[in-house]
Structure 1
């Protein structure tokens, strides 16, 4: 991730400025011990989400150029594949060099099993299968390739294969640098410079033939546009929008929810935008004794997120800002019995990374507060979730990381969440389950 690596993967995706010194300080402060004062032993464990730097990725992609997120060159897309089928393939040592893509795996399996792809599944019409079966290569290593065309696209980096030719353009995003939103916003895809390669003689894309074969290049560029339209690629580079406007991230259309202890593993993009939007969380809870412990609710994971929990009878809130900083309230004793706990989060600025005030109340009395000086604009993690009564996955807080999933020992009757959204045009109470998922699907398609 980047030219320096990272201790928290989504630092880059959130465009959060940081330095190596900040990351090293976070490791030392949070994970340092007498035997390991720098905290380096935390790397590679569930307590961090570290990624090595792009130099290692580039070395691993040799002899191809570039890395993942670059669709224009095979360093970002090409992978070896081995097929083992003792009952149907006679082994030999000759590699198959025919051009194929991941979308060819399903057609291969269908042909092997004699399956006709369904046109409809549970009432949903299926998209046509674009792939080409690879079965023809099983008995003939030198068979002419049957896959004629394949497009590639990732954040505006794009390419197209056609009958041995490959045309491509790098695009606006350089994955190993943070870059700037202004540079991305000023990008004009029509001004991108394209390259052309003859893969039959140059599989590593070393000899650009764009100047020698301008007519072939123009034909390939037109083919890309046709494939892009057929496969809903437009707008080109649409995924970059969130790097410029994180406030437009895909999110639930709901503004209020009621949860209970059965709520676990709710994906972040469908969960309430806690920690990113002003909100009020109200928990109706019963504590069996004065030493109750466990998570009331958590969103995210060890690399970034937030959690409200009780540890040995003391209530505490933590906002884990991508491991760089942990904002916490002071622990507050909470007695056995029934309680209404409120967590009010108020953003005091509309600026990206703007601060937020968090106030904790118990039974109508304010008991603790903290100011999150720098917030996460887009997403805490790529895979962690919202959980009630437990923190599944990698723990948000180090206070209970070694006791995960730190299931709550009392009873959570319900958790009400309300986002403080001005001029909300549609209340979640008026939206059916089907309407909710239709809205989510439409948002995915639109982006």
Structure 2
């Protein structure tokens, strides 16, 4: 193999000749060879989360996206760029240049299982593009949402070999999970858990923090390594739920969506055609019969549904403004001309996981049925519609708005079968190399094409071995040819899609699609899903080169063509470890007891242990357990003994002015509170909180008992429990509540540290 096919490069030998003495020796400073061209560009990837193609006003939507417009107008845009329909799979594919199942990312990291295509860990045989660029001489940094580290490896104890700062990025600041509170995120800097630099009351917001940190990194880079190019991956957590944004940003959209999602689709479809972003003959696909029309929404519920969309729009605009701050800094530092910027609007389509509209978006994942009246009543108790977007709720919009954000397509997030789930706009700017051109690039391309494009542009041959590990082939196809040839024939001939049984195959202008077993906007799991087999799915056939939006199903007219594409899907599935089709459903549908969780049954926490991610923490909210706290109680004590989860859902035990208290916050909609009738006495105390599962079924009731030094201090019953988990990114804290305040009783006193001393906390499962 030639030297450039094996990384790392061999050490540069000394240029000096050592003699017996210094006087007899020849000294010459060794010069490290330059592996990159002198004009190698800086590279920045901006990735927006859970955002559909019809939201940005750049392309006809109604969310203001000045930064996306700026990148597009200063470069070129792609209207047939594609993702996988789900976050972890897209990110793994984008960062490695490989298909998502080939690298074990057939679903999100938290739902990993033992089949190769769904293992949840990027193998060392598929090195990240960042690792290759680093070894060639780039400085590398990542900011924001990661979601490609196995969930069980995300505690402050590691292991760290799958964290971003150990697989290619020299610096990382952000969060490892799939989502985060924008006000109280569980943050990581490299391999250290860190707290946000400000509180929500001081004006903290995660998107702003990510921009601040990236700007700080750029300034340090220019000061310390000005001769090196850099690669930056900036992936905000917006527009993923919860939709958190300050009121003034949501208010900018007051009244903008009053006529609902059906009317929005019609307006945006017409505008996208007028602007030449989609062809004039691109048909507006109809609403699915199972999706409510705006006219079906009762008048009393419409203000709630409208405000949810106003909040989402303000959230999205705010994220785009933060991306603009980053580009402003690039230009201020003199990097603007030779920086290649990829701005990708969405790692999948808009998300319907808010389903009918919610003030606590993890309700959907836990499968707890609710009514909109319940949400509105709970919201009224918190302060009404103005609370939406605030730290007190974890709201997400109605799936109808996700469908509108996918205009003119049928799909949304989690649907790999239909555009809207997989088609996301991308703009590229590189002033030194790309002349601005308003003509959209219409070649069919995929997120796994980013890495090979970068390699071609900087003259890198994909290495055969990285850090001693033979490498898998690159699956992506470079689209660098499109920079100067807007009408060039597309070079990506075949691309498969599959997420949780929803699947499609693209081949030379045609697409065959199978919707799959789940409809994202319908709450709960469909009846009979455990008996589902892909053999019974109905396939559709579309000639995408003539049918932009999958509007005309040709399956009945062209059965031979459909059979050909289905055979191609089978070949691609076998080649990329997609089998078993629907393997991503194994944990959430077939075996929820196998969800990623800690293997332990007992824990000892000495002192104030904090920021233990919920996936790795004891399941205090749905398993029988006893928490035993050894503490020194001062006179009239107050503060949190422990808290699991956040403001959108969780449980907590705390002392308030000497009274022992417990609260189970079932996603804001139901709060079970227990408060002792007398105060704790000062001195040493053994406090026990016993949780008993009263009925062995998902979401079953729990019995709660509080004792102090063997005396009963309180009992209660939680009518409904959270069968899965409370949050995706919040934690277990002992001695204080550093995330979202679980209880409203101490909301204004958070983090509400315990005024006494905790010497030990023992947690053990009792069944």
Mark yes or no: TM-score above 0.5: yes
Counterpart for residue 264 of structure 1: 610
Counterpart for residue 257 of structure 2: none
Counterpart for residue 74 of structure 2: none
Residues 169 and 296 (structure 1), Cα distance of their counterparts in 2 relative to 1, 3 Å cut: same
Counterpart for residue 391 of structure 1: 737
- Deviation, structure 1 residue 103: 2.2
- Deviation, structure 1 residue 383: 2.3
- Deviation, structure 1 residue 285: 2.4
Find out whether 1:411 has 2:763 as its counterpart.
no
SS in 2 for 1:400: helix
- Deviation, structure 1 residue 119: 5.7
Equivalents in 1 of 2:750, 2:573: separation in Å?
Answer: 45
Residues 235 and 286 (structure 1), Cα distance of their counterparts in 2 relative to 1, 3 Å cut: farther
- Deviation, structure 1 residue 381: 2.0
Residues 45 and 148 (structure 1), Cα distance of their counterparts in 2 relative to 1, 3 Å cut: same
Counterpart for residue 378 of structure 2: 26
Residues 104 and 373 (structure 1), Cα distance of their counterparts in 2 relative to 1, 3 Å cut: same
Candidates 686, 693, 706, aligned match of 1:360: 706
- Deviation, structure 1 residue 327: 0.8
Candidates 553, 565, 568, aligned match of 1:208: 553
- Deviation, structure 1 residue 129: 3.4
- Asked if 2 retains the 8 angstrom alpha-carbon contact of 1:247 and 1:377, the reply is no
Counterpart for residue 357 of structure 2: 5
SS in 1 for 2:445: coil
- Asked if 1 retains the 8 angstrom alpha-carbon contact of 2:518 and 2:526, the reply is no
**1:372-383 to 2 correspondence within 5 Å?**
372-383=718-729
Residues 277 and 87 (structure 1), Cα distance of their counterparts in 2 relative to 1, 3 Å cut: same
Equivalents in 1 of 2:534, 2:483: separation in Å?
Answer: 40
- Asked if 2 retains the 8 angstrom alpha-carbon contact of 1:290 and 1:312, the reply is no
Equivalents in 2 of 1:187, 1:105: separation in Å?
Answer: 35
Residues 19 and 140 (structure 1), Cα distance of their counterparts in 2 relative to 1, 3 Å cut: same
- Deviation, structure 1 residue 290: 2.3
Larger deviation: 230-239 or 69-78? 230-239
Find out whether 1:60 has 2:405 as its counterpart.
yes
- Deviation, structure 1 residue 297: 1.8
**1:228-243 to 2 correspondence within 5 Å?**
228-241=573-586, 242-243=588-589
Deviations 1:249-281 (A, max 9, x none): 222211112224563332222221111111111
- Asked if 2 retains the 8 angstrom alpha-carbon contact of 1:246 and 1:377, the reply is no
Candidates 581, 587, 592, aligned match of 1:246: 592
Counterpart for residue 89 of structure 2: none
Deviations 1:317-343 (A, max 9, x none): 111112221111114523443322221
SS in 2 for 1:359: strand
Counterpart for residue 696 of structure 2: 350
Counterpart for residue 668 of structure 2: 323
Residues 335 and 143 (structure 1), Cα distance of their counterparts in 2 relative to 1, 3 Å cut: farther
Equivalents in 1 of 2:468, 2:739: separation in Å?
Answer: 35
Deviations 1:126-174 (A, max 9, x none): 6543222222222221222222222222222111212222111111111
SS in 2 for 1:235: coil
Equivalents in 2 of 1:399, 1:305: separation in Å?
Answer: 14
Counterpart for residue 747 of structure 2: 401
**1:149-164 to 2 correspondence within 5 Å?**
149-164=494-509
Equivalents in 1 of 2:482, 2:543: separation in Å?
Answer: 21
Find out whether 1:96 has 2:448 as its counterpart.
no
- Deviation, structure 1 residue 89: 1.9
- Asked if 2 retains the 8 angstrom alpha-carbon contact of 1:295 and 1:389, the reply is yes
Counterpart for residue 659 of structure 2: 314
Judging by fraction of residues, say which structure has more helix: 2
Counterpart for residue 276 of structure 1: 622
Residues 123 and 377 (structure 1), Cα distance of their counterparts in 2 relative to 1, 3 Å cut: farther
Deviations 1:230-261 (A, max 9, x none): 33333322344424653332222111122245
**1:323-342 to 2 correspondence within 5 Å?**
323-331=668-676, 333-342=679-688
Gaps of 5+ in 1: 33-38, 422-447
Counterpart for residue 428 of structure 2: 83
Candidates 206, 217, 224, aligned match of 2:569: 224
SS in 2 for 1:76: coil
TM-score of the two chains, using structure 2 as the length reference: 0.51
- Deviation, structure 1 residue 104: 2.1
Equivalents in 1 of 2:548, 2:695: separation in Å?
Answer: 51
**1:168-187 to 2 correspondence within 5 Å?**
168-180=513-525, 182-187=527-532
Counterpart for residue 443 of structure 1: none
Equivalents in 2 of 1:169, 1:285: separation in Å?
Answer: 58
Residues 373 and 124 (structure 1), Cα distance of their counterparts in 2 relative to 1, 3 Å cut: farther
Residues 65 and 397 (structure 1), Cα distance of their counterparts in 2 relative to 1, 3 Å cut: same
Equivalents in 1 of 2:749, 2:449: separation in Å?
Answer: 44
Deviations 1:275-307 (A, max 9, x none): 1111111222234x3243332222111221111
Equivalents in 1 of 2:555, 2:408: separation in Å?
Answer: 21
Equivalents in 2 of 1:336, 1:122: separation in Å?
Answer: 59
Q: Over aligned residues, Cα RMSD in angstroms?
A: 2.4
SS in 2 for 1:150: strand
